[in-house]
Amino acid sequence: MPGAIYAEGLVKHFGDVKALDGVDLDVPEGTVLGLLGPNGAGKTTAVRCLATLLTPDAGRAVVAGIDVLAHPNEVRRSIGLSGQFAAVDEYLTGRENLQMVGQLYQMSAKAAKRRAGELLEQFGLADAADRPSKTYSGGMRRRLDLAAALVVRPPVMFMDEPTTGLDPRNRQALWEVIKDLVGGGTTLLLTTQYLEEADHLAHDICVVDHGRVIARGTSDQLKARTGGERVEVVVHERGHIAPAEEVLRAFAKGGGGATVEEHTRKLTVPVTGGAKLLAEVIRELDARGIEIDDIGLRRPTLDDVFISLTGHAAEVQDAAGDDAEKEDVK
């Protein structure tokens, strides 16, 4: 049985740019799929196709059991959109925005009003409910935007870079809200440029680049592909680099040496053995009188995964593809 969000061979061109080049997705009910990729990779285009905002040139999509191309309006009853492309009206108050969205979801005026009140309470916006949303902080506006997507408690949600531009505290807060939501059984497709975000929220991750899915799996599976953990040590003085290197070599996996960054006095060595091994390293360094500023066991981040998969870091902007996605917002 296909999942709550299912896509097969989605293709979309914008002029000469192939924004989607055969994307397959399958999100089981009640899970979160993170679409991860740099700007212009095609993440937004994929979501727009699934959310009935764009018609793909080829391929098939089924959302909540309904064929997206054949019955877009049926799909619209079952989805909620949030993120960069689905805004709220900044001149309307939070309450007016939610009421309007509720009514346009075909709720009665009364039901829409009641639901708006509930959501404002739930998202901590009750105090600001009757102020134009223009006066809201970035975090409040994102919460309102998310609330607008939840007016009818849709079984399937799409979020396009929900926390882009938020400060860390607000990002954390929004993550909690999203986790609660998913705990309630909602199926979620999330796009993000933040590897940490995908790591935090998604059960499965698809890495997208140039309109194609280049890797998929759980966060752990993707990390495992990139290689294991490593120990990083920052020594206090430059003179301690050489002896520290000697110590680390003894712990190195496969008998290799440590990588040294002279100017930051940082040594890195691939290891196996986890925290127990870290304690041994510290004891050994201490025994030799090597003073350290920092030491830690580092597991590969999705950043490392991304670089090893694509050959470039996730932040790199793909100018051509970025234009393509803008064009599609036109």
Q: Footprint of another protein on this chain (CB under 8 A)?
A: 4, 12, 29-30, 48, 51-55, 73-74, 76-79, 81, 84-92, 96, 100-101, 103-107, 132, 148, 152-155, 184-187, 328-330
Rounded to the nearest whole angstrom, what is the least distance from the CB of residue 152 to another protein in the complex? 4
3-state secondary structure of 76: helix
Pairing of strands 32-36, 58-63: unpaired
Rounded to the nearest whole angstrom, what is the least distance from the CB of residue 328 to another protein in the complex? 5
Shorter beta-carbon distance to another protein: residue 62 or 101: 101
Rounded to the nearest whole angstrom, what is the least distance from the CB of residue 160 to another protein in the complex? 10
Structure tokens at 154: 């849709």
Please report which helix (H) or strand (E) contains residue 88, including its range.
none
Rounded to the nearest whole angstrom, what is the least distance from the CB of residue 262 to another protein in the complex? 48
Q: Encode 60-72: b = buried (16+ Cβ within 10 Å), e = exposed.
A: bbbbbbbebeeee
Shorter beta-carbon distance to another protein: residue 51 or 269: 51
Shorter beta-carbon distance to another protein: residue 103 or 170: 103
DSSP string, 16-47: TEEEEEEEEEEE-TT-EEEEE--TTSSHHHHH
Rounded to the nearest whole angstrom, what is the least distance from the CB of residue 203 to another protein in the complex? 14
Shorter beta-carbon distance to another protein: residue 203 or 266: 203
Shorter beta-carbon distance to another protein: residue 54 or 269: 54
DSSP string, 239-292: GGHHHHHHHHHHH-GGG---EEETTTTEEEEE-SSHHHHHHHHHHHHHHTT--E
